[in-house]
Amino acid sequence: MKNNIRVERAKHNITQAELAEKINVSRQTINAIELGKFIPSTLLALKIARVFNSTVDEIFSLDNDD
């Protein structure tokens, strides 16, 4: 599974720490999700999407491994 959180953050000009704060998770959690180190819950994915005025499906997508 891949994601474009980094790109969305750049578009909206916010840091990992700021995104973390907006959705009430630790900065390390955002970092790990962004780097694909672990898969977030659907709840977090929805919250992240909302911050970016986007959708889960635009931000996260299946890749060949999945």
12 binds, among DNA, a second copy, none (CB under 5 to 8 A by kind): none
Neighbours of 11 (CB within 10 A): 12
Give the dihedral of Cα atoms 45, 46, 50, 54; nearest 10 deg: 80
Q: Does 61 engage in binding with DNA (CB under 7 A)?
A: no
Q: Does 43 engage in binding with a second copy (CB under 8 A)?
A: yes
Q: Does 33 engage in binding with DNA (CB under 7 A)?
A: yes
Q: Does 51 engage in binding with a second copy (CB under 8 A)?
A: no
* Residue placing its CB nearer to DNA in the complex, 35 or 50: 35
Type of residue numbered 23? I
Could you tell me the end-to-end alpha-carbon distance of the chain, in angstroms, rounded to an integer?
A: 6
